[in-house]
Amino acid sequence: MVSQGEDEVVTQIPKVKQVKIASSFNEFREFIQHNTPCVLSQDSIYSFQDILGESWLREHAGQSQVCLRKSPTGRFIDPSDSILNIAKSLSGKKITLNEFLNLKQSRTMLSGTDTYIFTKDSVVEQWSDLWSHAQEVLHEHGGEKSLISRSRLSTVGFWLSRGGIQSITHYDNSLDNNLNFQIKGKKEFLMFPPQDWKYLKTFKAMSMHPFSFFHDIKKGDFNSIQQQNCQPQMVELNEGDILFIPSGWFHFVEHVDDLNINMTYWFKTGLTKKEMIKPKQSLRNIFIPMKLSIAFLLGYFVS
Ligand SMILES: O=C(O)CCC(=O)C(=O)O
Ligand SMILES: [Fe+2]
């Protein structure tokens, strides 16, 4: 509520629609079945939501090999950044999880697209202790609060980041559904339906707009025709929250806290390729992908 003058009280309506909040676990299940983006914000349901923190990780997976990503700007990767900054953000360095935890440096992260706990129908050995908790989400584990069957599970990714990070707007290339567990810290998601590809300057599965395009939307500044035409939804994910991102939905993500831990479960929709909505390419400027390709090659020489 915002008060104006002495007796006039005006309710402030957020300009960007908020992602639906499920009022119960059953409603969350129904939203998932109907392909509706939604959040479940409840007390923890699975054991990993309680135990997974720095000290547990040190004890149970401290020697695991991970890929450290570091960005001078914190933006992974903003097409409007300099080639050198993009190159630095793209390059990765193999270290152990304990080394990463000891760094305590902002703008560093382990990406769930590098760090797989489960992939190609099997558990990644170095994460087996974490898997013994993570599998509670699966029907085969037998819990009544399970959400997905193992046969539909494609990949589980583990994310760990320090503050000051933003990730490029993209849809998950596999066209899988996505269940994103916020285990520690806080992230903000700005999401767009697959049909919005027309306004997002898409190249492959990514949007080539500068990150400022998305910051403006979050502030409610719809300056361009493209910003006015798209149908964004926003959500702040807090510790314990679970976000459902349906197949093909774009997401722009900001990592807010000093330590953020997430797990992403990517799972098959059960639809055929024909039934799925696959965003198309809308970028008209070939110089942007050229710039990213040069930065990608340069990434092998800088760190
Ligand atoms: O947390 C992020 O930076 C990105 C998350 C994401 O892209 C995903 O879960 O698919
Ligand atoms: Fe993603």
Domains of the chain, first to last = 14-298 (2.60.120.650)
**For a substitution probing ligand 1, which of 235, 261, 264, 266 has the most ligand atoms within 8 Å of its CB?**
264
**For a substitution probing ligand 1, which of 114, 262, 263 has the most ligand atoms within 8 Å of its CB?**
262
CA proximity to 190, closest of 175, 162, 211, 161: 211
Q: What is the pTM of this model?
A: 0.94
The helix (run of H) or strand (run of E) holding residue 183 is strand 177-184
Question: What is the predicted pLDDT for the residue at 168?
Answer: 98
Instruction: Give the chain's residues under pLDDT 50.
Output: 1-5
Both tokens of 169, joined, read 């707007």
- Helices and strands in the chain: count of H runs, count of E runs: 9, 21
Question: What is the predicted pLDDT for the residue at 3?
Answer: 46
Atom 8 in ligand 1: residue holding the nearest Cα: 264
Any ligand 1 atom below 6 A from CB of 167: yes
Looking at all shown ligands, the one closest to residue 255's CA atom is: 1
Cα dihedral 78→83→89→91 (10° resolution):
140
Question: What is the predicted pLDDT for the residue at 302?
Answer: 84
Dihedral sign from CA coordinates of 36, 39, 45, 50 = positive
Question: What is the predicted pLDDT for the residue at 11?
Answer: 58
Question: What is the predicted pLDDT for the residue at 273?
Answer: 86
The helix (run of H) or strand (run of E) holding residue 266 is strand 260-267
Question: What is the predicted pLDDT for the residue at 2?
Answer: 43
175/277 Cα distance (integer angstroms): 9
Q: What is the atom index within ligand 1 of the atom nearest the CA of 266?
A: 10
CB-based contacts of 13: which residues, under 8 Å, 6+ apart? Answer: none
Write the CA distances from 211 to 107, 162, 232, 259, 266, integer angstroms.
Answer: 16, 19, 15, 22, 25
Span from the CA of 255 to the centroid of ligand 2 (angstroms): 13
Pair 182, 262: CB distance under 8 Å = yes
Any ligand 1 atom below 6 A from CB of 172: yes
Any ligand 1 atom below 6 A from CB of 178: yes
Q: Which residues pair with 18 in a beta bridge?
A: 234
